[in-house]
Structure 1
Amino acid sequence: MSTALAVFIVQQEFSDAAWKKSAAVIMGEKGATIYVGSDEAENLRKVQKAGRQLDSLGVSKVKLAGDDWDFERQWAFANGYTDTRSTNSIEFAGDAQTLTSMRELVNWSRELTNLPPADIYPESLAKRVSEKLEAIAPEHVSSRVISGDELLDEGWVGIHTVGRASKHKPCMLIVDYNPSQQDSAPVDAVLVGKGITFDSGGYSIKSSEGMLAMKCDMGGAATVAGALGLAIQQGLQKRVQLVLCCAENLIDGTAYKLGDVITYKNGTTVEVVNTDAEGRLVLADGLQYAGEVNAKLVLDAATLTGAAQMAVGNEYNALFSVDDELANKALATAAQQRENLWRLPLNRWHKENTPSAFADCANSRPQKGGGAAGASNAAGFLLRFAPNEGKGWLHFDIAGAYQNNANAMWATGATALGVRTIAALLND
């Protein structure tokens, strides 16, 4: 059995040792040392980079040693010291049980996103999520899957339309976490996740390069599933439902086409002008479900637009809401949880920014990326379906949920950025 590498943190100003400021981690006889300064935000970045560096060096077991490891520093290190193909182990310096259980759950959320699309398709995603959440709280969790043509029977036409061309049936997963076990208990919150397990773009087909990472298009589903699991682990006492809108966006003779018009359960008609703007079509069903159960709080998460990623980069998620008080609360919560979140514009008139001559609206603009303000226009489309005209609703366009290539902070693949923030909002 290999010996764990001891990793120390040393607080030191850098005026006389500039090399310590620039290097993430210094190897020595006693182990590895991370030198940090007075800026704690920068310290956390450096600690995460140190974890990334040690993983890249092939170090498989570490022990966080010394007295300078608080919770956030340990979590930052764990984020960097995680690779989708490794089985690294960490002996934490404190809060070991909490950190270990949180790391296991977050890594499960990452794994969902990173698994190949042959393993994660709509019904297998629903099965993995329901089994995981039922295992966390078996007495308080129940689940239901609406699959294939059953979706049409219940009016969930968006999911069915997007997924009907795949041999894998589209489905809606509904998980009900009800700690009171009373059927009459009000639903405090509904989490809605985009579960596009593979996105070819449909007839608006992606390039090979653009399609390569599209197993990650169910990252929203993985994020909200992980958030609910974490919130339950943290002692959630409210009734929360999880709705995953799952489909593969593929092409065959039955696939939906440009110019098709979808009539939703609430009567809204939508012209399809881009089959690669499919995420909002399935999320519309989930948002309508949230309205049917009268949820006080509705949060959706989706790898929805490249425009959001262009705006905030890969280290932030983008937030949209017309509820200013709730949006400010979400931003403050994200800051407390040390997760990067940035609010982008959304006004009620954004609903009109995807017009159609043939329907109430289109699902996008017939321009690359949806044209100017593409992420806001996508959020405006969702606002048409959000309960209570958007009061109590948050939309997370999770630009930072997946890294196409490894960098100094993250391994290639899913990051699970947003899981902590959403879990904390549920437990507030």
Structure 2
Amino acid sequence: MSTALAVFVVEQEFSDTAWKKNAPVIMGDKGATVYLGRDEAENLRKIQKAGRQLDAMGVAQTKLAGEGWDFERQWAFANGYTNTLSTNAIEFAGDAERLANMRDLVNWSRELTNLPPADIYPASLAKRVADKLEAISPELVSSRVIAGDELLEEGWMGIHTVGRASKHQPCMLVVDYNPSQQTDAPVDAVLVGKGITFDSGGYSIKSSEGMLAMKCDMGGAATVAGALGLAIQQGLQKRVQLVLCCAENLIDGSAYKLGDVITYKNGTTVEVVNTDAEGRLVLADGLQYAGEVGAKLVMDAATLTGAAQMAVGNEYNALFSVDDALANKALDYAAEQRENLWRLPLQPWHQENTPSAFADCANSRPQKGGGAGGASNAAGFLLRFAPNEGKGWLHFDIAGAYHNSSNAMWATGATALGMRTIAAILND
């Protein structure tokens, strides 16, 4: 006999039952019931909150029972009913295989982000991602790791500069999903992920409180890796490459310093005015790689700026692009996939908002948080390296990727918010 708690959804008016309207979940003899209203967006939030409440009550197994459980409602419940270690079990009401496969990938992405930095460092992140994607499609996926001084030999200066002070060598992982198996097939899209497996801030060192959660600074890498896996599961027929820019931003006698100038592969020179603005320095290499392979679509994801989180909170991700048609498509897909995404300003002139007297530009402004418009200025820095002057490029500053503590919607830790949207864009 199953020990899973049955969970029901009931749609009804609330004229005389305000207590049911306000409570996420009501416990009864037959199980737990979520009472829904007319607004489906609010219903989904309530269902996710119900999942959180049941997790907080210590319920370890649930069964979605009765009618009314469509795909999105079940997924909303799964998002809420996921504890930090992803140990809760759900028996879905329908679409079970599809939901279970997606949940497996999302939980894997969350686990990557939640694991301690002793377990996730550049080489181990690259191996875990390559192993997972190769297991999903062994015949169509191949991978390559460029590590340590090999980065210098191939011109990937940003990753090497940021990561050279760690005993764990920085690396670039390139995963190639090639469904045609033709070596000369064009690369339709490149995904670029920020893989800073721990961020001390470097010589612009963070406070202890600000550093505690910095194992999550590879959340962008986990998000795009999970998105590619999900897109492959959904039947992706395009050649897509994944580029993870992996490094630990630490301090020793060889660490990069304030005032250093990095000369990138494309000749652009960058003065370092903040070693804690390291994510954009490594992403610059990934964006240049995307340009080298001629990808028409380029998407990067990164836990890049606190400014983005200040702007949109932690239930949204921020989107930047100078390609209006593509940005609008991304927003449409995010709405379809029920993932909160908000577009913030980016214009070509944002490239000039991090000036330097000693180089083509600086990596930030020498002000707390990069000054006003910090998230847009960071995106403007990346625009210098994006192929085709930004046409076909989307930058996701994933403010909702990680929560330092649990709330009414999410468990403590990673959320994988953005995975579904990026996968959907790939499968467009």
1-structure distance, mates of 2:106, 2:88: 14
Report the residue type matching 1:206 in the other structure: K
Give the aligned partner of residue 354 of structure 2. 354
Quick check: 2:219–2:302 contact (8 Å CA) kept in 1? yes
1:280 equivalenced with 2:270 (yes/no): no
Report the residue type matching 1:16 in the other structure: D
Indicate the percent of aligned positions where both proteins have the same amino acid: 88
User: Which runs of structure 2 are paired with 1:119-268 in the superposition (5 Å)?
Assistant: 119-268=119-268
What displacement does 1:88 show?
1.0
1-structure distance, mates of 2:55, 2:6: 14
1:114 equivalenced with 2:114 (yes/no): yes
Report the residue type matching 2:158 in the other structure: G
1-structure distance, mates of 2:195, 2:6: 40
Report the residue type matching 2:318 in the other structure: A
Give the aligned partner of residue 31 of structure 2. 31
Quick check: 2:85–2:111 contact (8 Å CA) kept in 1? no
1:91 equivalenced with 2:88 (yes/no): no
Give the aligned partner of residue 105 of structure 1. 105
TM-score (norm 2): 1.00
Give the aligned partner of residue 312 of structure 2. 312
Point out the more displaced range, 59-68 or 132-141.
59-68
Give the aligned partner of residue 332 of structure 1. 332
SS, match of residue 255 in structure 1: coil
Q: Which sections of structure 2, spanning at least 5 residues, go unmatched?
A: none
2-structure distance, mates of 1:62, 1:210: 36
Report the residue type matching 2:179 in the other structure: P
Report the residue type matching 1:243 in the other structure: V
Give the aligned partner of residue 292 of structure 2. 292
Report the residue type matching 2:150 in the other structure: E
What displacement does 1:86 show?
4.6
2-structure distance, mates of 1:426, 1:364: 31
Give the aligned partner of residue 390 of structure 2. 390
What displacement does 1:361 show?
0.1
1-structure distance, mates of 2:71, 2:341: 20
Report the residue type matching 2:373 in the other structure: A
Quick check: 2:401–2:417 contact (8 Å CA) kept in 1? yes
2-structure distance, mates of 1:267, 1:328: 32
Report the residue type matching 1:233 in the other structure: Q
Quick check: 2:199–2:215 contact (8 Å CA) kept in 1? yes
1-structure distance, mates of 2:364, 2:201: 13
What displacement does 1:85 show?
2.5
Give the aligned partner of residue 323 of structure 2. 323
Report the residue type matching 1:379 in the other structure: A
Quick check: 2:7–2:62 contact (8 Å CA) kept in 1? yes
TM-score (norm 1): 1.00
1-structure distance, mates of 2:251, 2:20: 54
2-structure distance, mates of 1:168, 1:86: 28
SS, match of residue 411 in structure 2: coil
Distance 1:377 1:114, change over 3 A: same
Report the residue type matching 2:328 in the other structure: N
SS, match of residue 409 in structure 1: coil
Report the residue type matching 1:259 in the other structure: G
Report the residue type matching 2:221 in the other structure: A
SS, match of residue 215 in structure 2: helix
Report the residue type matching 2:374 in the other structure: G
SS, match of residue 172 in structure 2: strand
2-structure distance, mates of 1:326, 1:179: 24
2-structure distance, mates of 1:85, 1:72: 23
What displacement does 1:2 show?
5.8
**Cα displacement string for residues 79-110 of structure 1 (whole angstroms, at most 9, x for unaligned residues):** 00001225111110000000000000000000
SS, match of residue 193 in structure 1: strand
SS, match of residue 267 in structure 1: coil
SS, match of residue 144 in structure 2: strand
SS, match of residue 328 in structure 2: helix
Divergent runs of 4+, >4 A: none
**Cα displacement string for residues 41-84 of structure 1 (whole angstroms, at most 9, x for unaligned residues):** 00000000000000111111111001100000000000000012
1-structure distance, mates of 2:25, 2:53: 8
Alpha carbon RMSD of aligned pairs, Å? 0.6
Report the residue type matching 2:253 in the other structure: G
2-structure distance, mates of 1:407, 1:21: 20
What displacement does 1:309 show?
0.2
Give the aligned partner of residue 7 of structure 1. 7
What displacement does 1:370 show?
0.2
1-structure distance, mates of 2:84, 2:35: 27
Give the aligned partner of residue 426 of structure 2. 426
Report the residue type matching 1:39 in the other structure: D
User: Which runs of structure 2 are paired with 1:33-52 in the superposition (5 Å)?
Assistant: 33-52=33-52
What displacement does 1:13 show?
1.1
2-structure distance, mates of 1:357, 1:43: 54
1-structure distance, mates of 2:144, 2:138: 14
What displacement does 1:356 show?
0.1
2-structure distance, mates of 1:93, 1:15: 29
SS, match of residue 151 in structure 1: helix
1-structure distance, mates of 2:95, 2:416: 21
* Count of aligned positions: 428
